[in-house]
Amino acid sequence: MAKWMKAYSNDLRQKIVETHSRERESIGQTAERFHVSYSFTWKLIKGYEQTGKVSPKPHGGGAKPKLKGEQLGVVAQLIEQKNGSASDYCGIGSKVIPSPGSRC
């Protein structure tokens, strides 16, 4: 099975909500009918009852960047100096991620 599944279309979402309402069947029965998970069906129906919409929620963001702006500049320097020795990188690298036990 694929790690990331494609989002369900709004047409399918609408059919699930309409069928659940029209047939007066349980959430589990509706989920089985459309071969989707119970939790997806439950969230879809509850969301529709609250908002009147079947479209998916927008993406919630993601992980915050680990490096700050000035640190990204230092990384760019490291990439440009890719032929340097380990001692050349030592001074620059400590600006990116200060390490108390550094060998530099």
Encode the chain (104 residues) as per-residue pLDDT tens digits: 456 667 899 999 999 999 999 999 999 999 999 999 999 999 999 999 999 999 988 878 888 878 777 888 877 777 777 666 666 666 655 555 555 555 55
H or E element at residue 22: helix 10-23
Domain boundaries defined on the chain: 10-51, 66-97
pTM of the model: 0.56
Q: Report the distance separating Cα 54 and Cα 66, nearest Å.
A: 35
